[in-house]
Amino acid sequence: MKNSLLRARRYLTMLTALFIVVLTACSDSPDELLPEPEPEPLPEIPEVTVSVSAPEHITVTRRHSSDITLTFEVTGDESLQWTCTSSNPDVATAVPKDDTAVTVTGIAAGEANLTIEATAGEVSATAEITVTVEQGTVRILAIGNSFSQDAVEQYFYELAHAAGIEVIVGNMYIGGCDLDRHYANLQSDADAYEYRKVVAGQKTNRAKTRLSEALADEPWDYVSLQQASGKSGQYDTYAVLPQVIGHISSTLPDATLIWHQTWAYASSSNHADFPAYGKNQMTMYNAIIDASRRAMTDNAALKLIVPSGTAIQNARTTYVGDIFNRDGYHLEVTYGRYTAACTWFESIFGIDVTTTAYAPSTVSDEMAAIARLSAHRAVTSPYTVTEITEYARPDVKDGYQSAPVYIDFGPNSVSAAPWNNYTSFGPSDTPVWLKDIDGNFVSTGINVSGGFTGSYLGVSGEDKHTAITAAGIEFPVTAWKDGLIVAGTKGAGDTAPGRLVITSLNPGGKYDLTLLAVRYNGSRDARISAYKVIGRAESDVKQIKPGLKIASSGTGVYPSFDRVPFEEYAVTYSSVEPDADGTITVEVTGIDTGVAAEGHLNALVIAPAR
């Protein structure tokens, strides 16, 4: 029994010890916790980086494109996105071509910055590209008539070339062509035009050309339209303009369409359409302004106006006056056409034309300055006349004319100083200011008062010869080559006289007048020009046979140029006294010889009497 109790006690002791061991193992005391197992490592996340590289500068030509390759470098798992923007989309645009290239297109001459931005997640990088857009060749097509001929076929190329701009100029020419006829020709594809084209300063003419052919001939940048001069101020005659615009826009969607605002006639014009404006220059001008403004407003596709009409009207406010037309409606061929060309130049290129150094050698410095300033102010204010007050009056030498004044008539060849050039045959109430042989403006003026029927342009062969000396005066080829003419019908009697008026002479003075008449390659007796001078008294009539022909045989010819009796081609009136108002009138009449009835005047010299 005692042994049983002893065994039971030992057993209980063992259980108690076991319990304590178990309890101790389950204790949550921090000092008694078993070490925690090591956590499994997380997967490593790669760092995201992005870079982009591109050329720092590229050059493209206007209306041309270039593909630029971009280099991107990306690390990490983020996907790459990129954009390209232009600081000046009017100069250059940029469009992604594929994942690593952008197409840059030149819109206009100038400079733009392209920004390439690459992003990957929240990380980004940029690159800058400077784009220079060069002008390249500018191509301009006029669809018009003789008024577009006056405006763009002379001097415009030279103005652009002097500014470093290469141009190709086309003129689809039909004399007097109006919008209705242009539209009919578009519909029928008629080969009705003479296609005049200026490339590298050289002009070519191609007859029987279709508008479709000209429109396809070049990637034209500009195409101009205009109305026939007599209808230019009658907006109801513009009805087909939207259809003409639509046809051209569909053929040349990238071309800029121009409206050419033409000019009002000279106040003395005898054009058949002038009575529609009451034969009033300002009435016609204002009507043209109204019609051109409405054409621009009603036709959004017309993006640019070339205000030749306002430029000419501006120039008429100067001391030059209303002498910008050679026949009352077409432009005078030197300073008149130069004024229009200056207007086109500044309108298209946006360059202040008063800063150009180019002017034709046949235009004086004063006239060139007037033309440029008149054009510049017309572009600034195309629908309003701006008086050119800087040239309201020339700097005239004090007193009456005291030195000889030389005048070359005719538009086909222009003489250098000291010659003055009078290129219009149409009547004008505004005398032309003249310079004497010392280069001084003088009070003496001259104007055609009426009667002349045209300009004599010369023939061919004159330029191989030299100056003519007659009455002690040397007349260069440019002076005797062309001139004024009054022409009638042979067998119908003598012509009515053409008249020149010399103004602002000293009423108490006396003057010697020398007149020259030459018609090269004409038989000596075929034509006779008769002259009369009217001042305080009326002179006797003097005659010249202007025919001058070099030939080895025949009647009225000379074997060589040095055998010609040049004194016979000039007449001189000595000590002519002006009328009380200081004027002398010169009359030129064509005598009917049965072969022709023509009166010629090539040059005139006015000198104080010796």
Residues 6+ apart with CB under 8 A from 359: 338, 365, 368, 371, 372
In CATH, which of 3.40.309.10, 3.40.50.920, 3.40.50.2020, 3.40.50.1110 is domain 138-391? 3.40.50.1110
What is the Cα–Cα distance from 504 to 7, expressed in whole angstroms?
165
Structural domain boundaries in the chain: 49-134, 138-391, 405-608
> pTM of the full predicted structure?
0.73
Pick from 232, 235, 242: nearest CA to 263: 232
State the maximum Cα–Cα separation within the chain, in Å, rounded to a whole number. Answer: 191
CATH code of domain 405-608: 2.60.120
Quick one: pLDDT at residue 413?
82
3-state secondary structure (DSSP) of residue 43: coil
Q: How far is CA 379 from CA 181, 284, 296, 307, 351, in A?
A: 29, 20, 15, 6, 11
Q: Residue 162 has which token pair?
A: 């002097």
Quick one: pLDDT at residue 416?
85
What is the Cα–Cα distance from 210 to 143, expressed in whole angstroms?
11
Phi, psi dihedral angles at 96 (to 5 degrees): -55, 135
Q: Averaged in consecutive runs of 10 residues, what is the pLDDT profile of the chain (610 residues)?
A: 47 52 47 62 74 92 90 88 93 92 91 94 92 93 98 98 96 98 98 98 97 98 98 98 98 97 92 96 98 98 98 96 89 95 97 96 92 98 97 93 96 86 88 94 95 91 93 96 96 98 97 97 94 98 96 88 95 98 98 97 96
Q: Within 13 Å of residue 346, how many CA atoms lie on the same side as its CB?
A: 25
Quick one: pLDDT at residue 20?
47
Q: 49-134 domain in CATH 2.60.40.1080?
A: yes
What is the Cα–Cα distance from 376 to 40, expressed in whole angstroms?
83
CB count within 10 Å of CB 99 equals 9
What is the Cα–Cα distance from 127 to 130, expressed in whole angstroms?
10
Q: Residue 461 has which token pair?
A: 């062969």
Pick from 195, 206, 140: nearest CA to 172: 195
Pick from 415, 406, 223, 385: nearest CA to 302: 223
138-391 shares its CATH topology with 405-608: no
